[in-house]
């Protein structure tokens, strides 16, 4: 029977394929005593052998689909599987205590994990993370449950999952994964943002897909309207194929604007930039006619691996982006880890409210060596293009000053070492915490630019978790409270002769664009796949006309009123 579900439209496009459930099974280990020790040892050996061959396949596939760097994590897992220091105590325990292999494995692994994690040594902490992952895999084999990895998918499918972590999402191969649907998450959760970068149609926050959709069912994902059709009949499939074709046609019309500047109907130029996560994304930026990179989320360089990237690796990545951009403005954000972005090898204490915790610049200022390494790599890469650096999650002026001081110290050191660095790097901040938006006039005297991160600014202003679909109605970019903060930031920057960009998802929204134009936003940065649509819209708008509506819009009372006002204006 055909069934229609709905969620939050997270990434444009339409896909029709078989469902593939990506599940994270719970592994419950009970202690039992065994009578046949040899049989138990054989069972353990067989689980080890199966895990090994599975890891070898995943490693080879990851190397082929992604790159060797991402595949390295699986080499580390294979090393753990053959480590006698770990395996010896497990088999000893089975033999001497007559316990089942699951229990012996879990007890021994937990002992090593605890030991390594307590050491003040990054390398040992990484080993703890490896042991945890490998133990999970072997336990799954012993318990007869399967563990899935998105990189193993070799069929055209639509992934159905409770949630996808950002590291699951980086493993998605758009060649096979035609779309995804999750029960939790919002439009600005990072899996949704990555889906837009990979141009995979997605619907998130659909709440009931895991309880409704079984493996192999045919599913339609409509990432344009946030709809999901399960078991569609032939007529529905035909209708969606038509919708897909007309969306493709629309995209080809936008594509004709690729090499044009973004100029309003009254001759005002704004810059349309893209948000990227890895150097590989630059190809898409240029294909979609991006004039700049308004946000390079460097944290993805730190994810999907089992140790910090070295200064050299970072230098390579940053230089590659700058060279590909060929002197076009490139804003690189320093490490923004925390919230929904975790590093497996950085075992930080669990926090009650990670989005309000030790994250982003707070963590970088605490882990100064790690931060200095990134700044050095950026400074060295600066000679290869038009680099601008910004710090995430700045809440106070002191944080900015401290970060800037470290930047200047690293710059001075490099100069002393006669290493060439650019002297024209602008240093700005993300405005994503209300305190900073309110104090923009003070910040504007010291920073070179602002980039408004509305994904977080809305989350913190409305006190509504951006990952929680139950409060997603509070993600209100058009709420006058948000618009007034945005105006405050733009005006403050202009007063000091500085510029303001926006790199939150709001910058690519068709209702937000006319408002932001009227407010005087200088740079709009969005998923590369949204650029041409935005350009086509901006070319039809008059800046002067939009300015004349700003006061009226800002004095409206609710988000809905703002939306209706703008719709009426733009459909006139």
CB of 304 to ligand PEP, least distance (A): 16
Site for Mg ion in 414-433 (CB under 5 A): 432
Taking CB under 6 A as the binding criterion, the range among 29-37, 100-108, 151-159, 450-458 that sits at the site for ligand PEP is 450-458
Per-residue contact flags (x/-) with ligand PEP for residues 169 to 188, judged by CB under 6 A: -------------------x
Residue 453 interacting with Mg ion (CB under 5 A): yes
* DSSP assignment of 321-360: HHHHHTTSEEEEEPP--BTTB--TT--PPP-S-GGGSS-H
| Residues 6+ away with beta carbon under 8 Å from 495 | 441, 444
Residue 179 binding partner per list ligand PEP, Mg ion, none, with a CB distance cut-off of 5 to 8 Å that depends on partner kind: none
Question: Residue 102's binding partner, choosing from Mg ion, ligand PEP, none, with beta-carbon cut-off 5 to 8 A by kind?
Answer: none
Which range binds ligand PEP by CB under 6 A, 36-44, 99-107, 451-459, 467-475? 451-459
Only segment of 280-288, 453-461, 512-520, 545-553 that touches ligand PEP (CB under 6 A) = 453-461
Q: Which residues are annotated as a binding site?
A: 297, 333, 432, 455-456, 466
352 burial type by CB count under 10 A (0-12 exposed, 13-18 middle, 19+ buried): exposed
Query: Residue 519 Cβ, how far from ligand PEP at the closest point, in Å?
Result: 17
Rg (CA), the chain: 25
Nearer to Mg ion, 399 or 456 (CB): 456
The entry of ligand PEP, Mg ion, none near residue 454 (CB within 5 to 8 angstroms by kind) is ligand PEP
Kindly state the smallest distance separating residue 454's Cβ from Mg ion, in Å. Answer: 9
CB-count burial class (<10 Å; 0-12, 13-18, 19+) for 38: exposed
Three-state secondary structure call for residue 82: coil
For Mg ion, the nearest residue by Cβ is 456
C-beta atoms surrounding 58 within 10 Å: 19
Q: Does 456 bind ligand PEP (CB under 6 A)?
A: yes
Nearer to ligand PEP, 27 or 365 (CB): 365
Q: Edge-to-edge strand order for the sheet containing 177-182?
A: 3-6, 227-230, 218-222, 14-22, 157-161, 177-182, 202-204, 8-11
Distance CA 553, CA 477 (A): 13
Nearest approach, Cβ of residue 250 and Mg ion (Å) = 30
297's contact among ligand PEP, Mg ion, none, with CB below 5 to 8 A by partner kind, is ligand PEP
Of the two residues 453 and 477, which places its CB atom closer to Mg ion in the complex? 453
3-state secondary structure 446-489: CCCEEEECHHHHHHHHHCCCCCCHHHHHHCCCCCHHHHHHHHHH
Is 465 an interacting residue with respect to Mg ion (CB under 5 A)? no
* Residue (456 or 465) nearer to ligand PEP, CB: 456
Q: Which is nearer to ligand PEP, 135 or 188 (CB)?
A: 188
Helical (H) or strand (E) element with 294: strand 292-297
Distance CA 293, CA 325 (A): 8
Residue 421: how many CB atoms within 10 A of its CB?
A: 18
Q: Which is nearer to ligand PEP, 147 or 295 (CB)?
A: 295
Distance CA(521)–CA(269), nearest Å, equals 11
At 242, is the secondary structure helix, strand, or coil?
helix
55 close to 194: Cβ distance less than 8 angstroms: no
Instruction: Return the residues of window 326-345 that contact ligand PEP according to CB under 6 A.
Output: 336
Question: In the set 329, 504, 508, 520, which binds ligand PEP (CB under 6 A)?
Answer: 504
Residue from 455, 479, 500, 527 touching ligand PEP (CB under 6 A): that is 455
Helix axes 480-495, 454-462, angle to 10 degrees: 130
How far is the C-alpha of 335 from the C-alpha of 308, rounded, in Å? Answer: 11
Q: Is 222 in the site for ligand PEP (CB under 6 A)?
A: no
Shortest CB 455 distance to Mg ion, Å: 5
Question: According to the binding rule CB under 6 A, does residue 453 interact with ligand PEP?
Answer: yes
Nearest-approach distance from CB 543 to ligand PEP, in angstroms: 24
Does 126 participate in binding Mg ion (rule CB under 5 A)? no
Residues 376-435 contacting ligand PEP, CB under 6 A:
432
Using CA atoms, how far apart are residues 538 and 387, in angstroms rounded to an integer? Answer: 26
Q: Please classify residue 540 by burial: count the beta carbons closer than 10 Å to its beta carbon, then call 0-12 exposed, 13-18 middle and 19+ buried.
A: exposed
Closest CA to 504 of 275, 251, 302: 275
Bind-site residues for phosphoenolpyruvate: 297, 333, 455-456, 466
290-329 residues in contact with ligand PEP (CB under 6 A) are: 295, 297
Q: Which is nearer to ligand PEP, 454 or 472 (by Cβ)? A: 454
Least distance to Mg ion, CB of residue 310, Å? 26
Size of the site for Mg ion (CB under 5 A): 3
Could you list the active site residues?
Answer: 190, 503
Q: Are 117 and 125 in contact (CB under 8 A)?
A: yes
Helix, strand, coil share of the chain (percent; to 5): 55, 15, 30
CB hemisphere CA count around 438 (13 angstroms): 8
**Sole binder of ligand PEP in the list 12, 319, 454, 476 (CB under 6 A):** 454
What is the smallest separation between the CB atom of 295 and ligand PEP, expressed in angstroms?
A: 6
103 or 318: whose CB is closer to ligand PEP?
Answer: 318
Interface ranges with Mg ion (CB under 5 A)? 432, 453, 456
Residues near ligand PEP (CB under 6 A): 188, 295, 297, 336, 432, 453-456, 503-504
């Amino acid at each position: 029977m055909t069934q229609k579900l709905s969620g939050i439209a997270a990434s444009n496009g339409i896909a029709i394929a078989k469902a593939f459930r990506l599940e994270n099974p719970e592994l419950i280990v009970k202690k039992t005593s065994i009578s046949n020790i040899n049989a138990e040892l054989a069972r353990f050996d067989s689980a080890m052998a199966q895990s090994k061959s599975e890891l070898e396949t995943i490693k080879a596939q990851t190397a082929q689909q992604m790159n060797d760097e991402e595949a390295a994590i699986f080499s580390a897992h294979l090393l753990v599987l053959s480590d006698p220091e770990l395996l010896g105590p497990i088999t000893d325990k089975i033999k001497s205590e007559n316990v089942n292999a699951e229990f012996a494995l879990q007890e021994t692994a937990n002992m090593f994990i605890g030991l390594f994690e307590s050491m003040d040594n990054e390398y040992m902490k990484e080993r703890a993370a490896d042991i945890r992952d490998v133990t999970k895999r072997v336990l799954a084999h012993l318990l007869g449950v399967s563990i899935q990895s998105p990189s193993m998918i070799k069929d055209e499918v639509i992934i159905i999952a409770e949630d996808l972590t950002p590291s699951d999402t980086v493993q998605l191969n758009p060649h096979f994964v035609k779309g995804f649907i999750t029960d939790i998450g919002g439009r600005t959760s990072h899996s949704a943002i990555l889906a837009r970068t990979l141009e995979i149609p997605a619907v998130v926050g659909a709440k009931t897909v895991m309880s409704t959709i079984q493996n192999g069912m045919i599913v339609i994902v409509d990432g344009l309207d946030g709809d999901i059709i399960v078991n569609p009949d032939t007529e529905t499939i035909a209708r969606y194929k038509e919708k897909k074709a007309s969306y493709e046609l629309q995209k080809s019309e936008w594509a004709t604007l690729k090499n044009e500047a973004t100029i309003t109907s009254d001759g005002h130029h704004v810059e349309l930039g893209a948000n990227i996560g890895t150097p590989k994304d630059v190809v898409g930026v240029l294909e979609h006619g991006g004039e700049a990179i308004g946000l390079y989320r460097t944290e993805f360089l730190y994810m999907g691996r089992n140790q910090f990237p070295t200064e050299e690796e970072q230098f390579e990545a940053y230089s590659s982006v700058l060279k590909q951009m060929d002197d076009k403005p490139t804003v690189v954000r320093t490490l923004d880890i925390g919230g929904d972005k975790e590093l497996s090898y950085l075992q930080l204490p669990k926090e009650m409210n990670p989005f309000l915790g030790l994250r982003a610049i707070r963590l970088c200022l605490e882990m100064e060596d790690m931060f200095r390494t990134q700044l050095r790599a950026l400074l060295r890469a600066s000679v290869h293009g038009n680099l601008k650096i910004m710090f995430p999650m700045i809440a106070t002026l002191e944080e900015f000053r401290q970060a800037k001081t470290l930047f200047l110290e690293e710059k001075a050191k490099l100069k002393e070492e006669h290493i060439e660095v650019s002297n024209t790097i602008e240093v700005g901040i993300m405005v994503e915490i209300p305190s900073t938006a309110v104090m923009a006039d003070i910040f504007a005297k010291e920073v070179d630019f602002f980039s408004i991160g509305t994904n977080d600014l809305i989350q913190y202003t409305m006190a509504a978790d951006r990952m929680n679909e139950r409060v997603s109605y509070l993600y209100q970019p058009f709420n006058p409270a948000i618009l007034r903060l945005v105006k405050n930031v733009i005006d403050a920057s202009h007063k000091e002769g500085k510029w303001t960009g926006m790199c939150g998802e709001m910058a690519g929204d068709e209702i937000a664009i006319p408002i932001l134009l009227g407010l005087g936003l200088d740079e709009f940065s969005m998923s590369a796949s949204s650029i041409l649509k935005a350009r086509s819209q901006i070319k039809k708008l008059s800046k002067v006309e939009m300015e004349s509506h700003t006061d009226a819009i800002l004095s409206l009372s609710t988000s809905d009123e703002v939306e209706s006002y703008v719709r009426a204006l733009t459909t006139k």
